[in-house]
Amino acid sequence: MRFKLGLTGSIGMGKSTTAKMFSDAGCVVWDADAAVHRLYSTGGAAVAPLGVLFPNAIKNGAVSRAELRETIAAHRSALSQIEAVVHPLVQQDRETFIENHPDAIGVFDIPLLFETGGDAAMDATVCVSVPHETQSARVLARGSMTAEDLHHILARQMPNEEKCARATYVIETDTLEHAREQVQDVLKDIEQRGKHA
C-alpha cells in the first residue's frame, strides 16, 4: 500500500461521512467495525472460537452482539477473552486488505485508533472533530441514545482534545463543504509527501 492513513474520532463527530469523502476522492477504506461485523456473521472466523468460550453468544450460526454485551456485563474477564480472539482476526483482515491494494492510499477507519496503539502502524493519522455541543446534538438526534449513554461512551475513550493533539491532521466536520475541502487538503499534502519521500 502506498500510504496508510488512520481515521478516528468519537461518536457523532462525522467519521463515517468523512470516510465516504475519502472513498469518493479515490482512496480505499477499511472499516474496523465492518471487519468485526464480517467476523461475527454466519461463517465468520470469530464464530467458532467465540462459540467455544461462550456458547450462549451464538445465535443462528452468528455471534449475537446483544448476548456478548450481557456476558461482558456479567463476567469481568469476558472482555479480555473476547478481545484475545477477535483482535488477531481483525489484524489479519486488515493485513489482507493492505496486500490487496498495493498502489492505493488506504484510509483505516478505526474508532479506538489511539487507545489501541493502532496509530503506530499508520503513515499519518486524521481526527474528525466538532465542538462537544454539536456532537451531543447529533448523537441525541439519532434517538437511539440518551445523554447518559453518550457520557458513558465518552468516559471510556481518550478525550477529543487529546486525539486532536496526537493526530497528524484534524478535520472539522462543521459543514459537509468544509469537511470535503479539508479532505482534499489532506490528500494534496499526502501526494506532496510522496514526491519528497
Residues forming the annotated binding site? 12-17
What is the β-pairing status of strands 62-63 and 58-59? antiparallel
Largest alpha-carbon pair distance within the chain?
A: 54
Residue 32: all three cell numbers together: 474496523
Annotation: binding site for ATP = 12-17
Strands 3-8 and 105-109: parallel
Torsion sign across C-alpha atoms 172, 178, 180, 182 = negative
Strands of 3-8's sheet, edge to edge? 28-31, 105-109, 3-8, 124-129, 169-172
